[in-house]
Amino acid sequence: MSAKAIPLASLKKIVAAHKKRGQKVVFTNGCFDILHPGHVTYLQKARKLGGVLVVGMNSDASVKRQNKGPERPILGEEERAAILGALACVSYVVIFDEDTPLRLIEELVPDVLVKGGDWPIEKIVGREVVQRSGGEVLTIPFVEGKSTTSIIERILTRFKKG
């Protein structure tokens, strides 16, 4: 597991310290199963929105409940956290077991909440919490053709036995 993967209780204190120093805290979340260029570009852009980027990552159990298919996640939560943590743009990773990151957002109250452009602002979980605290809720344009699902489909097509 990555040294950047921090339990929520500890992360709350760390985030509070960053805020006290005047650093803008950006939060995003996702499964990040089979990290690909679309993820990396997205996370780099998210980091540019503030001084600290916190990534809420779905646990394995949470991914299984997201209708991504019975075989997902491909990579386990510890592997996914380690890969995310290896990115320079990611400050911290926090794994959550719920279906949505609402509890994390309520606990951390980031200055900026960001999701991919495929999410309408009004559907972003935690939007009200962040806006009520004076923060921003933004989307970053989706990188077309770059998705874990499309990578899995490509692998299955290329290595199909027939």
**Can you tell me the distance from the alpha carbon of 6 to that of 19, in angstroms, rounded to the nearest whole number?**
17
Whole-number pLDDT of residue 68: 78
Q: Name the region of 145 (left: φ>0; alpha: ψ -120 to 50; beta: rest).
A: left
**For the chain, what percent of residues have pLDDT higher than 70?**
95
pLDDT at 153 over 80: no
Domains belonging to the chain, first-starting first, are 8-158 (3.40.50.620)
User: Which band of pLDDT confidence, cut at 50, 70 and 90, is reported for residue 162?
Assistant: low
Q: Which residue is listed with tokens 């996914």? A: 80
- pTM comes to 0.92
Query: 85-134: per-residue pLDDT in tens?
Result: 999 999 999 999 999 999 999 999 999 999 998 889 999 999 999 999 99
Give bridge partners of residue 94 from the DSSP assignment: 56
Query: 47-66: per-residue pLDDT in tens?
Result: 999 999 999 999 999 999 98
